[in-house]
Amino acid sequence: MKVARSVLAVIVGFVVFFGVVRMLAGYAGNPDEGDALMNYLLFSVLITVVGAMVAGFVTARIAASHEFPHTAALGLLMVILSVISMRQQGIAEPGWYQTTIAGCGPISAMLGAAIRLLTKSRQTANRNTPPAGRP
């Protein structure tokens, strides 16, 4: 059961990442339609960071224990798919952009897991504290 939960945490985390990035990509515009290319690329990096943080949080939440190893697996999946994307696109995008996307995803996912751990300790402490007026 623990293995299934671990695999589920990583898969759901990646699906969340993909969904957030696709959802927010509509706001980035299209550089082919005359939008400024640099603005598009920077907004795309921001979208990746936000999506990865949300995905890291979700992965850590589903994993429930050993949050960082699960989120690291999510980050590894992001890097592998980013390298595949780089190979397919060739020199269509600047090298700094592709490298930044590949690096920001896993780091941001770990930040999302850290935020989950910070909120987890508060929730646990609140559950163990007796209500006011009761010893």
Q: Where do the structural domains in the chain lie, given as residue ranges? A: 2-122
Model-level pTM? 0.79
pLDDT band per the 50, 70, 90 thresholds, residue 126 = low
Instruction: Collect all residues with Cβ–Cβ distance below 8 Å to 59 and sequence separation of at least 6.
Output: 9, 10, 12, 13, 67, 70, 71, 74, 109, 112, 113
- Is residue 94 within 8 A of residue 38, CB to CB? The reply is no
pLDDT of residue 41: 81
Name the token pair of 81.
């798919």
User: What is the sign of the dihedral through the CA atoms of 121, 124, 125 and 126?
Assistant: positive
pLDDT greater at residue 43 or residue 131:
43
In the chain, the percentage of residues whose pLDDT exceeds 90 is 39
